[in-house]
Amino acid sequence: MTDILVSQTATIPTRQRSTWYFPLTSGYDPVPASMISKRYTLLDAEAKVKDPSLYLLESTINRRSNHSLAGLPVVAQWDIVADDALNQLVQSQLQKAQVATQALRRIPLETRIQILQDFGTKLRAQYAKWRTLTVQESYAYNAFLASLDAVLETFQSNYFDLISNVLQPISKLGCNARLEHVPQGVIGVISPQNSSFPMLTQILHGAFLSGNALLIKPPHRLAIVALALVDEFNQVLKDWEMPNHLVSTVVHPNHQSILDSWLGLKGGSRIDNLVFIGNSKRRSEIIQSCQQAGIYNPIIELEGVDSAYVHHDLTPEQLSRTACLLAYAKNAASGQFCISLKRLYVHPDVYEPLMTALRTEFQRYRPGSLREDDPYVLGPSSLPHKLPSIVDAFEAAGATTTVGGRRLNYQGQPDPDGIYIEPTLFEGVDPTSELLKEEIFANVLPVVKTNGNLADTIEHMNQCPFGLRGTVFAQDKEVIEEMRHRLNVGTVVINGNPLDFSIQIAGGRGASTLDQHARIWAIDLSLRQVVTGDRGIRDLADILQIPEVLPLLEHKVIAADLL
């Protein structure tokens, strides 16, 4: 184990020898041992990138409960729920969470903000811990660096001022009516396998701020950051004597089994809403299951095929800076973020100078130690075996591979079995190519040399069905305004980092979401309802029982779920 890992003994969960152990919890209480089938074992990420055979060994260990761990670089273990206990556990967690969220609603917003500020302070103080845990998800320094500031931003006073104004009642409807946000209740969260630190931190933050309880299912093979965050958050809640069972965890290899239990499809109660962050292949399945259970507005965030455009009016210095940002947005985390840059459009007048700089920037990224303080170190790829077919597809479509295109080993040498993808540029890509509509979850970037017509460029950028975000590099205000209004995306970045993990980190349009255009979790996890006569009006019978509200019937002011 490294010095940085050993140095965190006082701030990490229960340890056995030099190994983290994360028990599953229902609030502050560990899940009974009788409901656990086994412990999942995670080997050290740095050891695995140096010796890829350890990935296969890790899989073997977790298939065989009696496999010896002697002499192996074990870094963490966590519990897996037994099949026959899954629904019983979920129903128990759900019922306790329903009670807890009712108690949470009585906690003043000002107190919840104080608690979150305390949590944010602890996150900042434990920088080394969270970086170390992020490395164990096989992410290098640049990936952690991309998200840390954005996570901490949501714990600043100006952010809380912004959200407080939204969560407080808005008296703008006339008469005695107002619009207010209310908690949804118990939210089930299927958290992503990538970028769990920024995503789950902000979901925890938003749920507590808006008065909801959470049931969290991390990926069973990579739950280390998620379980550590829940452990830390629960400790803060316990210190503040908050209601128990606000945040619980369950780890099981079958997503659908957990979803069916959450939705009450196996008998019992159901959650009030679902947050699902993943790829689009499960979109229809998730929506169908939710609708079967009576949930019609799940919060779904799927893949992105984010684009960037570079206009002709940038100075040489600005082009150089743009190339740095583009290379970072593509190669941080080896391109394995949903908001990684996936396609680039360049005006012909600046194509050569920009691409000359971009080729140089791409060649600065390299394999290396995940623990290095070097933003140019790559992490391993989840699909290096697909690289040859990706290269063949672009070249068959007329593109040219001008940088990269090879698999690399830990030493940065070409290796047909390497687990790294060399930073790759495809140039001469046809703007109408179907390849530009696919999310390639790797550090390969197709580049389109536009015809110089802005309307055509916007049309080509909008052909992709996925619309998380788009980035514009330009000085001309009219060009910026045209693209800002016409790009079919949830977020437009103007002359900034395309991989900006700001508080509105995604949102989206088209196939990326269910048409949620911002990702401010405290708002997403609230219901917006009209309140009249200082009471929530649910139906006509309620209205008729409140004499002072009777005149409002003439104005047809009724309760409405506007989400």
Cα separation of 9 and 160, whole Å? 32
Position 175 scores a pLDDT of 58
Model confidence over 490-505: pLDDT tens digits?
889 999 999 887 655 5
Identify any residues that bridge with 341 across adjacent strands, giving them in sequence order: 306
Position 64 scores a pLDDT of 85
**Least trusted range by pLDDT, from 7-16, 273-282, 306-315, 449-458:** 7-16
Name residue, tokens 């900034």: 496
Average pLDDT over residues 169-195: 80
Average pLDDT over residues 332-345: 93
The answer to whether 401 and 395 are in contact (CB under 8 A) is: yes
Model confidence over 64-114: pLDDT tens digits?
878 899 999 999 999 999 999 999 999 999 999 999 999 999 999 999 999
Torsion sign over Cα 25, 29, 32, 38: positive
Position 420 scores a pLDDT of 97
Q: Comparing C-alpha atoms, which of 556, 30, 540, 562 is closest to residue 250?
A: 30
Tokens of 118: 């305390």
Model confidence over 449-461: pLDDT tens digits?
999 999 999 999 9
Grouping H, G, I as helix, E, B as strand and the rest as coil, residue 395 is helix
Average pLDDT over residues 133-159: 86
DSSP character string of 509-522: EETTBSS-----HH
Helices (H), 475-562: 477-486, 521-524, 540-544
Cα separation of 443 and 117, whole Å? 36
Grouping H, G, I as helix, E, B as strand and the rest as coil, residue 273 is strand
Phi, psi of 473 (to 5 degrees): -110, 105
The answer to whether 27 and 96 are in contact (CB under 8 A) is: yes
Model confidence over 404-441: pLDDT tens digits?
999 999 999 999 999 999 999 999 999 999 999 999 99
